Amino acid sequence: MELLAGPRGTVVQAYLNSRPTATEPHDAVLVRSAEPEPHMRAHPWQIGRIAACGFLDTADVVVTPLATRRFPGYYLGVLLEGRGTLTQPGADGAEHTITLGADRVGIYSRMRPFRLQINGPYHYLVLEVTPEALGVHQSLLAGATTSEELAAAPSAALLTGLLGQLSSLAPRMSPALRMQAGDAVTSLLAGHLRAGTTPCAARGPLDEILLWIEERVGDPDLSPHRIAAAHHISTRYLHKLFNQQALTVAGYVRARRLELVRRDLGDPGLRDVSVSALGRRWGITDASQLSKAFRGRYGTTPRGFREQAATVLADDGLLTGGAG
């Protein structure tokens, strides 16, 4: 990470594991402070495959991107202390502004200019997120940028609470636990993104059905007909319950299986278990189908994901190796 003081403000770059270059650093921002001698502190940290950085200062600041060329990617911003606003043009060209503060989060794109205005004293946490890491389509992240609905969703409070704790506890956690905590963050963030497209609902029959599926998700013969019969409802009504939450039965089961396979691929305690065996453990008996579905959701093969996870763990101090 580099902090370079200049006449216009402080340039901060390479704070999200990006390599600084002389011309176009990927994550460089210009921080302008209300005080003539700012005392901003920055603390980069890693939680599994998630790169993050916390910024602290007592002064009011304005943050804008420095790069003249835009790079693909998205940020998740969490204001753990202080008050602020995030402004960015949407896909429609119009500027959108959301308020940042307690129990709120903001998602913004690196492809478009943004303006982050914070009243100090503050503690701002920024994470780098990608569709592949979250297992979501790029359009879902694009549609979530500077969304007021998502900023104030109930899941936003869960995210801010978890990330606030992790920012201080991560250095005291084991590498394996940091990896697992990173998976918890990505799962929660993916759910947070989807929450913006689905209605809230009180506890009802779907909760019981999802729990029943969770307990049997490793059964390769799990089917809508079997699920409906176990709950004494028609398959038509079962599909209706899922459709009300913008889900399909088969899509939900497939997503849960892939999420569980991904979790196990990142577990150093399962490094000697083959990819195909992990797939069978969660009801995916066809190795080629597993590889195709996994790549479609996470942008890499199961073996490639395991290698990436092993690299993260090795860099974090826990050497891994094992079956492919």
pLDDT digits (tens, 9 = 90+) for 237-286: 999 999 988 889 999 999 999 999 999 998 888 989 999 999 999 999 99
Q: Read off the pTM.
A: 0.78
User: Which residues of the chain carry a pLDDT beneath 70?
Assistant: 17-25, 38, 67-71, 196-202, 315-324
Predicted local confidence at residue 279, as pLDDT: 96
Question: Rounded to whole angstroms, how far apart are CA atoms 163 and 122?
Answer: 15
Type of residue at 42 = A
Predicted local confidence at residue 295, as pLDDT: 92
Q: What are residue 108's DSSP bridge partners?
A: 75
The residues, ordered by sequence, that sit 6+ positions from 1 with a Cβ below 8 Å of its Cβ are: 12, 13, 14, 15, 42, 44, 53
Predicted local confidence at residue 316, as pLDDT: 61
The residues, ordered by sequence, that sit 6+ positions from 141 with a Cβ below 8 Å of its Cβ are: 74, 107, 109, 129, 131, 134, 193
Question: Rounded to whole angstroms, how far apart are CA atoms 162 and 158?
Answer: 6
Predicted local confidence at residue 196, as pLDDT: 62
Going along the chain from its start, the domains and CATH numbers come out as 2-195 (2.60.120.10), 205-315 (1.10.10.60)
The strand pair at 95-100 and 74-89 is best described as antiparallel
* DSSP conformation class of 3: E
Question: Rounded to whole angstroms, how far apart are CA atoms 311 and 259?
Answer: 20
Phi/psi class of residue 31: alpha, beta or left (left: φ > 0; alpha: ψ in -120 to 50)? Answer: beta
The tokens 């297992």 sit on which residue? 135
Mean of the per-residue pLDDT values for the chain? 86
